[in-house]
């Protein structure tokens, strides 16, 4: 409940403040968002598995974001930033799908 | 899509950490109330550390999502990578080159069309001027301009046709451009016949006073007619009198219809 509330508050704050993303962070924000989504789905799945742990959730959330951003940064430095961003998004997308499938099985038994 | 549930934990958070107490309930007993029940219990608002933490993280996520959405919707070039920008620049400059080439082509075509139409217009103007000139010279068209008005009195009916011809020659020498005698146009093919007192111009008998309307340089014509031994002197010798008046605006409206040439044909214009 508090999580949903927090999500809503974050959206509202984002809409109200309308911040501009610093130029050097602009390539990393979309990847970080996708990584955080992945962590969120993972946490939801762990919750339904009954193995949710807030410490693990926090760590995975932050490390996912940082690692994803770091990979993209590394790719930019190597000159393959675009391709590596695509790769990260694909991997995270697959994980989100598999987590979503797991959640679906828990909730609908199908 | 991969469905790795229960096979191998993929996400880090699904890993059972050592400090996490393993659920004491057996797997079968745990499996039954899971799902919606677990979700409902999780949704139940409690101020536990986990709930607050998840709330904070979700808030951060929502914030980031909204910011990124706004960024993606109004971002144009600033977040593109170098190679994309280079490609974009290439395409744009190629397109610009194409368009400027096209523009110069079209401009050249426009200039060509304009010069074509203007030269055509010039040709039409020249032809019109030519036609007007020919029409005036041949007596086909009426003419106006400065000139003189000559009236010859012939009280005794003694002016000879040759005197009139002399007058005409004198006028032509003085540069007369259009001549009317009485109500007849005098042209290159005009002829004076008849007898003294009954002079005929092109077969039409003239009656005194003979009035000449002439377009040309008034001063030259007047001087030419009045020199000693000139045309007016001939008239006086014949027993008539004449006077020349300069007129600023002479109107010659007698016309002559030209017969279609019966034998003469237009010679082919040599193409140069």
pLDDT one-digit tens code per residue, B174-211: 888 899 988 888 888 888 888 887 888 888 888 878 89
In this complex, the residue of B23, B35, B53 whose CB is nearest that of residue A57 is B53
Q: What is the mean pLDDT of chain A?
A: 87
Q: B81 vs A38: CB contact, 8 Å cut-off?
A: no
The encoded tokens of residue A88 equal 């990260």
Q: Is residue B162 predicted with pLDDT exceeding 80?
A: yes
Using one digit for the tens of pLDDT, what is the confidence trace for A25-68?
878 888 888 999 999 899 888 888 888 888 888 899 999 999 99
**Domain residue ranges of chain A, discontinuous segments joined by +:** 22-108
The encoded tokens of residue B20 equal 């996490």
Interface predicted TM-score (ipTM) of this complex, two decimals: 0.82
The encoded tokens of residue A16 equal 């109200």
**Residue B227 has what DSSP assignment?**
S
The residues, ordered by sequence, that sit 6+ positions from A102 with a Cβ below 8 Å of its Cβ are: A45, A48, A49, B3, B4, B5
How distant is the Cα of A9 from the closest Cα of chain B, in angstroms? Answer: 6
* Single pTM value for the model: 0.43
**Of the candidates A15, A30, A21, A10, the residue with the CA atom closest to the CA atom of residue A92:** A30
Q: Is residue B30 predicted with pLDDT exceeding 80?
A: no
CA distances from B150 to A82, B42, B94, B221 (A): 103, 129, 80, 10
How far apart CA B211 and CA B244 sit, in angstroms, is 10
Chain B CB within 8 Å of residue A98 CB: yes
Query: Looking at beta carbons, which residues of chain A come within 8 Å of B79?
Result: 23, 26-27
In this complex, the residue of B52, B53, B66 whose CB is nearest that of residue A14 is B66
Strands in chain B per DSSP E: 143-153, 178-181, 184-186, 192-195, 198-201, 204-205, 210-215, 241-252
Q: Is residue B2 predicted with pLDDT exceeding 50?
A: no
Q: Given pLDDT bands bounded at 50, 70 and 90, which one contains residue B253?
A: confident
How far apart CA B32 and CA A107 sit, in angstroms, is 11
Using one digit for the tens of pLDDT, what is the confidence trace for A95-104?
999 999 998 8
Chain A interface mutation, best of B13, B45, B59, highest count of A Cβ atoms under 10 Å: B13
Q: B63 vs A101: CB contact, 8 Å cut-off?
A: no
How distant is the Cα of A87 from the closest Cα of chain B, in angstroms? Answer: 16
Q: A21 vs B67: CB contact, 8 Å cut-off?
A: yes
């Amino acid at each position: 409940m508090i999580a949903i509330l927090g999500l809503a508050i974050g959206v509202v704050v984002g809409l109200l403040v309308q911040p501009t993303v610093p130029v050097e962070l602009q390539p990393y924000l979309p990847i970080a968002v996708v990584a955080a989504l992945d962590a969120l789905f993972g946490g939801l799945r762990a919750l339904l598995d009954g193995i949710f742990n807030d410490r693990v959730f926090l760590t995975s959330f932050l490390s996912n974001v940082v690692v994803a951003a770091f990979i993209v940064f590394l790719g930019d430095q190597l000159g393959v930033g675009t391709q590596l961003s695509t790769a990260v998004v694909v991997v995270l997308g697959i994980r989100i799908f598999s987590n979503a499938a797991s959640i679906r099985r828990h909730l609908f038994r199908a | 899509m991969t469905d790795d549930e229960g096979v191998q934990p993929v996400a880090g958070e699904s890993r059972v950490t050592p400090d996490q107490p393993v659920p004491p309930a057996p797997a079968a007993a745990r499996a039954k109330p899971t799902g919606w029940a677990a979700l409902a219990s999780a949704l139940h608002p409690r101020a536990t550390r986990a709930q607050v933490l998840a709330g904070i993280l979700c808030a951060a996520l929502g914030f980031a999502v909204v910011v990124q959405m706004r960024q993606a919707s109004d971002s144009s070039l600033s977040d593109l990578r170098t190679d994309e920008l280079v490609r974009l620049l290439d395409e744009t400059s190629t397109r610009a080159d194409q368009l400027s080439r096209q523009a110069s082509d079209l401009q050249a075509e426009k200039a060509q069309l304009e010069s074509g139409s203007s030269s055509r217009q010039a040709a039409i103007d020249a032809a019109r001027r030519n036609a007007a000139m020919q029409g005036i010279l041949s007596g086909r068209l009426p003419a106006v301009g400065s000139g003189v008005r000559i009236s010859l009195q012939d009280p005794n009916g003694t002016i000879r046709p040759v005197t009139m011809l002399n007058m005409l020659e004198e006028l032509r020498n003085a540069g007369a451009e259009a001549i009317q005698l009485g109500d007849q146009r005098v042209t290159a093919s005009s002829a004076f016949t008849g007898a003294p007192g009954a002079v005929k111009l092109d077969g039409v008998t003239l009656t005194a006073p003979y009035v000449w309307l002439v377009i040309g340089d008034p001063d030259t014509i007047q001087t030419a007619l009045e020199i000693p031994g000139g045309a007016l002197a001939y008239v006086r010798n014949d027993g008539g009198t004449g006077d020349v008046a300069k007129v600023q605006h002479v109107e010659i409206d007698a016309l002559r219809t030209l017969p279609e040439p019966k034998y003469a044909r237009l010679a082919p214009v040599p193409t140069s």
